[in-house]
Amino acid sequence: MAGSARVAAATLITALLATACSQGSATRTEEPAAGGKVTLRYFTFSAAPDHVKDLDTIVAAFEKENPTVDVQVETAPYDQYFTKLQTSIAGQTAPDTFELNYENFVTYATAGSLLDLGAAGGDTDTSGYATESLNAFKHDGKQFALPASFSTVVLLYNKDLFEKAGVPLPTADWTWEDEQAAAEKLTADGVYGDFQPVTFFEFYKALKQAGGEFMAGGKSTFNSPQGVKAAKWLVGKVGKTMPTEAEIGGTADFDTNLFKSGKLAMWHNGIWQFAGLKDVPFAWDVVVEPGDSQKASAVFHNSVAASTTTKHPREAYAWAKFLSSSNVAATTRIASSWELPPVSDQAVLQGYLKDPVPANRQAVFDSLDSIALPPVIARQQEMQDAVTQELTEAAAGRKSVEEALTEAASKVDALLG
């Protein structure tokens, strides 16, 4: 027994030593590649699958301007992206530069994983950016990320289906009632009138449309008459004008395929879908989302940040700046309908309107007049999951909307601590 105790002690010490060593050696020294070229890794979720080529265009232009830098693009789908990013940071193999959305920016900035780009670049010219976008990615007065793109959610609709059913086309003045009345008329013969996912993201927006607040003073405030109204609006569509969870059967991109196959009349989705709808065999257009007591549109902001562990801060800054504000980047994004560049130059943005499909592109800019930003807390993902789960329960009829909201509120309050 004494022997085995000694062995155990030795094992433990070896283990501790090994851990210590592995941490020491994990800070690898990267040799510059042949010819003094610097390899810069960039990790992104917004490029794949529709815009990899467009990103390549931007990369090629950047490498032409900076012949000593070789940008290596790595992509992951959104639902796996943050797992991979976290793990690579923990494993000390973080990419030099990576994409961050607004909801996750705060987490990474507070964690100290982000390079202060203002200091790294040594140049503070930010005149090219829209000020609001720039400020969204400031933390403690430091610019930890540069805004790279933004997108909004609109109501996409199948014009042919509306005309066939003799229902007047949606307008910017529509409210929930108009949408519901149209959806009911359009739902028939395997066609669904409406599709709006029952999730946290749709809920906080609908809540604002109903005139409610998600939280205030460190406590949730969504379990209110407005909250009930918003939740009922979302939940009430399921099984009536929209397929149920069982009918969707967990199929990936169910809504996208439904719309593309001409079996969905109205679709609440983002402008990033435009490119994928180029070749559909029917006429479609967009309009600002109907509101209730007021209009509110969801805006998603993506940025590019650099890791504190990068060996090439100057190059990382140059790339971040090029990707977010260069003319090539802005025009490429606009020409391919790949979200919008957060540039201050209105002339560049006007180029977005030139594309003839969808005709009412102006709605994208109009939707920016009254926006709903997602509530952001430290335990963001847990909050999103809790709200989505309770709403799903209500949508499946296993709970009343009131019960679901009460439970969601108590969960969110617990997360707010």
Partner 1 sequence: MTLTEVPAPAAVKQPVRPPRKRLRYALTVAVFLLPSAVPLLLFTLIPMAGSLWTSLHEWNLITPMKWVGLDNYADLLASEETRAAFGHTLYFIAGYLPLVYAGGLGLAMLLNRAMKGRDLFRAIYFLPVVTSWVVVALLWKWLLNPASGIVNWAIGLVGLEGPGWWTDPDWAMPSIILASAWKDLGFVMIILLAGLQAIPNEYLEAARVDGANAWQRFRRITLPLLSPSTFFVVVISLINGFQVFDQVHVMTGGGPAGATQVVVEQVYNLTFKYGRAGAASALSWLLFAVVLVVTLIQVRGQRRWVNYG
Q: Which of residues 138-157 bind partner 1 (CB under 8 A)?
A: none
Task: Provide the minimum distance between the beta carbon of 151 and partner 1 in the complex, in angstroms, as a whole number.
Answer: 24
Q: How many angstroms separate the CA atoms of 44 and 23, rounded?
A: 27
Task: Answer positive or negative: Cα dihedral of 145, 146, 149, 150.
Answer: positive
Kindly tell me the number of DSSP H helices and DSSP E strands found in the chain: 18, 13
Could you give the string, one character per residue 226-265, with x where binding to partner 1 holds by CB under 8 A and - elsewhere? -------------------xxxxxxx--------------
CB of 1 to partner 1, least distance (A): 8
Name the burial class of residue 144, with classes exposed (0-12), middle (13-18) and buried (19+) by CB atoms within 10 angstroms of its CB: buried
Rounded to 5 degrees, φ, ψ at 161 are -65, -40
Q: Whole-angstrom Cα distance, residue 166 to residue 319?
A: 51
Q: Would the CA dihedral through 345, 346, 352, 356 be positive or negative?
A: negative
Comparison of 108 and 352: residue with beta carbon closer to partner 1: 108
- Shortest distance in whole angstroms from residue 276 CB to partner 1: 23
DSSP characters over 281-342: SS-EEEEPPPBSSS--EEEEEEEEEEBTT-S-HHHHHHHHHHHHH-HHHHHHHHHTT-SB--
d(CA 336, CA 352): 9
Angstrom distance (rounded) from CA 59 to CA 70? 9
Question: CB of 247: closest distance to partner 1 in angstroms?
Answer: 5
Give the residue with the Cβ less far from partner 1, 154 or 258: 258
Burial class from Cβ neighbours inside 10 Å (0-12, 13-18, 19+) for residue 96 reads buried
Choice from 6, 11, 52, 163 touching partner 1 (CB under 8 A) = 11
* Shortest distance, position 237 Cβ to partner 1, whole Å: 17
- Least Å distance, CB 360 to partner 1, is 34
**Residues touching partner 1, count (CB under 8 A):** 36
Q: Residue 198 CB, nearest distance to partner 1 (Å)? A: 12
Q: How far is the CB of 9 from partner 1 (least distance, A)?
A: 12
Please select the residue that binds partner 1; options are 19, 72, 93, 294, rule is CB under 8 A: 19
Alpha-carbon distance 154 to 104, whole Å?
Answer: 23
Q: Is 113 near partner 1 (CB under 8 A)?
A: yes
Compose the 29-68 pattern: x for residues touching partner 1 by CB under 8 A, - for all others: ----------------------------------------
The reply to whether 112 sits near partner 1 by the rule CB under 8 A is yes
CA 156 to CA 273: how far, in whole Å? 9
Non-local CB neighbours of 147 within 8 Å, separated by 6+ positions: 129, 130, 133, 134, 136, 137, 301, 302, 303, 324, 342
Q: How far is the CB of 266 from partner 1 (least distance, A)?
A: 21
Residue 410 found at the interface with partner 1 (CB under 8 A): no
Residue 198 or 363 having the CB closest to partner 1: 198
Cβ–Cβ contacts within 10 Å for residue 350, how many? Answer: 11
The one segment of 131-139, 295-303, 342-350, 379-387 that binds partner 1 by CB under 8 A = 379-387
Which residues bind to partner 1, rule: CB under 8 A? 1, 4, 11-12, 14-16, 18-19, 83, 86-87, 89-90, 107-108, 110-113, 245-251, 379, 381-382, 385, 389, 392-393, 396, 398
